[in-house]
Amino acid sequence: MTGLIAAGALWAMHPAYLDAWLKRGAIEAILPEGLAKLASFAAPEAKANPDPIREGATVIVPIRGMIGPTGLGYPRTASDVLAERIRTFAADPKIGAIVLDVQSPGGYVFGTAEAGDAIYEARQSKPIAAVANTFAYSAAYWLAAQASQFFVTPSGDVGSVGVRSGHVDQSGFEEKIGMRTTLIASHPDKIAGHPFAALTDADREEIQASVDESNEAFVAAIARGRGMAAKDVPGVHGSGKTFSAQRALANGAVDGIATLRDVVAKMSSSRSRLALMRRQAAVAEAATAI
């Protein structure tokens, strides 16, 4: 996927990471094929043999790097695969609790709502805790907010709630190199927002409408996950800013400051699970009353 194409997608991702990603895509797009493959090469992560699941086990599910559906770009966490794993663990009677180990700048809007739904649905049957270890931004924040409880490590950072898209006008570049692209389509809608001319007002409005629609879904998901009214989400969780662990806790955006190790130990306690299930039921009841 080139940087030009990716720029027009709907993103729920920290701006600095997204800019770096798009810049990398633009560079790869102009490299010869062999060098582009070399530039995008990433060594596969070593996978340890899975331990047998014991009765009442707490399972740790990593959410790492960019989030996106399988086949779209190079997501490190495939949202569709994540959703399926969550559903599988939720249905396994041997598993007592699930902990989401999150370190992600976010990613595509595509697939995030479905993965978030899987997390929220799973917490109806067993407790799920999310830990920003050490950061959970945008789409990752969307997912973490669907857990029964949301923690952040002492040195961690969370936030960047919101959706972004964009447009690249490369007509000036083409003019400088003596090139002009003419698009022929079955209907103007088929080439709306193309990069070979300045963005029209109508196309800008269309992109803005898509961004606003996706952001409404983002806010609604946080409201559902955290048991609050949608109108109160920006005041607590922000509308694009990021927050340190201490500020996030002070705002009420997270349930506590704790390391992954601490949370796993807490979730492994049967007494803790019972208290968490009671809190979960109270939050669900409060959400229905809103």
Calpha distance 8→280 (Å, rounded): 38
- The residue-averaged pLDDT of 256-285 equals 76
Q: Can you name the CATH fold of 3-45+54-165+205-289?
A: 2-enoyl-CoA Hydratase; Chain A, domain 1 (3.90.226)
Supply 248's token pair.
């996030």
Closest CA to 287 of 188, 112, 146: 146
Calpha distance 157→166 (Å, rounded): 26
Q: What percent of the chain shows pLDDT beyond 70?
A: 77
pLDDT for res 100: 98
- The residue-averaged pLDDT of 124-140 equals 96
Q: Which of 150-154, 174-178, 179-183, 280-284 has the lowest mean pLDDT?
A: 280-284
Calpha distance 8→211 (Å, rounded): 11
R_g of the chain, CA atoms, integer Å: 21
Give tens-digit pLDDT for 11-20. 888 777 677 7
Look-up of token digits 């269309």: 206
Calpha distance 197→3 (Å, rounded): 16
Calpha distance 203→72 (Å, rounded): 23
Supply 244's token pair.
């340190």
pLDDT for res 14: 74
Give tens-digit pLDDT for 55-64. 678 999 999 9
144: part of which helix (H) or strand (E)?
Answer: helix 139-144
Look-up of token digits 């390391």: 259
Residue 132 has pLDDT above 50, yes or no: yes
pLDDT for res 18: 72
Angle at alpha carbon of residue 118, lines to 117 and 120, rounded to 5°: 65
Domain ranges of the chain: 3-45+54-165+205-289
At a CB cut-off of 8 Å and minimum separation 6, what does 15 contact? Answer: 160, 164
Task: Please give the sequence-ordered ranges of beta strands (E in DSSP) within the chain, or none if there are none.
Answer: 11-13, 57-68, 77-78, 95-108, 128-137, 149-152, 157-159, 242-244, 256-257
pLDDT for res 277: 62
- The residue-averaged pLDDT of 219-239 equals 97
Contact 169, 199 (CB under 8 A): yes
Instruction: Report residue 129 CA to chain centroid gap.
Output: 16
| Per-chain mean pLDDT for the chain | 84
CA distances, 226 to each of 12, 223, 286 (Å): 19, 5, 10
pLDDT for res 45: 46
pTM value surpassing 0.95 = no
Rank 37-46, 170-179, 203-212, 246-255 by mean pLDDT and report only the highest. Answer: 246-255
Closest CA to 214 of 138, 122, 127: 138
pLDDT for res 135: 97
Question: Does the N-terminal peptide bond of residue 134 adopt cis geometry, omega within 30 degrees of 0?
Answer: yes
Q: Which of 16-25, 95-104, 126-135 has the lowest mean pLDDT?
A: 16-25
Residue 24 has pLDDT above 80, yes or no: no
Say which residue, 39 or 130, is predicted with more confidence. 130
pLDDT for res 80: 96
Residue 167 has pLDDT above 90, yes or no: no
Q: How confident is the model at residue 174 (pLDDT cuts 50, 70, 90)?
A: confident
17: part of which helix (H) or strand (E)?
Answer: helix 15-30
Half-sphere exposure of 167 (CA within 13 A, CB side): 20
